Structure 1
Amino acid sequence: MEKTEFLEKNIFLNLKNLNNEIDTDSTLYFSESDFEIILERIEKLGIGIHGITPRLEGESLDVKLNEDYRKKATDPKWYKKAFSEFKKQQPNLQYSATYKVSDKLLNRQNIIGNKELS
């Protein structure tokens, strides 16, 4: 299973991508409430986040990276703190992130998927 497919099936399921610029930009943006759900889901699965980019009215704002917090991408402390800081700066932003999905997790999903096909 590819990273994008994994994220769509396990993380973004039943959440709405707010990016209307599909032709020019494939980045997925989610509402504040949906992004909070995403953070909960990735923490449970041990997925990491390298960076979070919020936007307001289609314009990207500041980017926060795990290196800024001196934490591993998989450490939920950094991305929860960054998300909280963004929410305090400006309510109702839309959020995007770059995700780190381990090969081990992708391979495990492939095995599960193959068993279901048997």
Structure 2
Amino acid sequence: MEQSEFLEKNVFTGLTNINDGFDSENIYYFSEADFEIVLQRAEHFGLSIYGIEPWLNGEMFDVLSHDSFRKKATDPKWYNKAFSEFKKRQEGLAYAASYKVSKKLLERE
């Protein structure tokens, strides 16, 4: 199974991709409520999240990565804290992230 297929089937399922063409069609963007679900599912599967990129009105708002928090990409503490910080700073953001699904998980599917 490919990483994109795994994400669509197990992480993004039932959620709305709000990328209406303002970025590459391969990048999924979610509302705050949906992105919270994405992070819960990522934690459940032990996925790596390398960076979170929120956008506001079609323009990049900011970006934070696991390096900013000196944590491993698989550590949910960093991405939950980053998400919390973004929510405090600005309402109505669209969220994207860079993910990695382990080979072991892909082979299991």
- TM category (shorter chain) comes to over 0.9
Aligned positions of 1:44-55 closer than 5 A: 44-55=44-55
Identity of aligned residues (%): 58
Query: Which is greater in Rg?
Result: 1
- Distance (Å, rounded) in 1 between the aligned partners of 2:102 and 2:93: 28
Say which SS state the counterpart of residue 16 (structure 2) adopts: coil
Alpha-carbon shift at residue 91 of structure 1 (Å): 1.0
The letter for the 1-side match of 2:3 is: K
RMSD value over aligned CA atoms?
1.0
Give 5+ residue unaligned stretches, structure 2: none
Q: Deviations over 1:39-61 (max 9, x none)?
A: 00010110110000000011011
- Distance (Å, rounded) in 2 between the aligned partners of 1:80 and 1:100: 17
- In the TM superposition, structure 1's runs of 4+ consecutive aligned residues that sit over 4 Å from their partners are none
Q: Deviations over 1:59-115 (max 9, x none)?
A: 011110001100000000000000000000001211000001100000011xxxxxx
Corresponding residue for residue 105 of structure 2: 105
- Distance (Å, rounded) in 2 between the aligned partners of 1:100 and 1:71: 15
Q: TM-score, normalised by structure 1?
A: 0.89
- Distance (Å, rounded) in 2 between the aligned partners of 1:25 and 1:47: 22
Corresponding residue for residue 24 of structure 2: 25
- Distance (Å, rounded) in 2 between the aligned partners of 1:2 and 1:100: 11
Say which SS state the counterpart of residue 72 (structure 1) adopts: coil
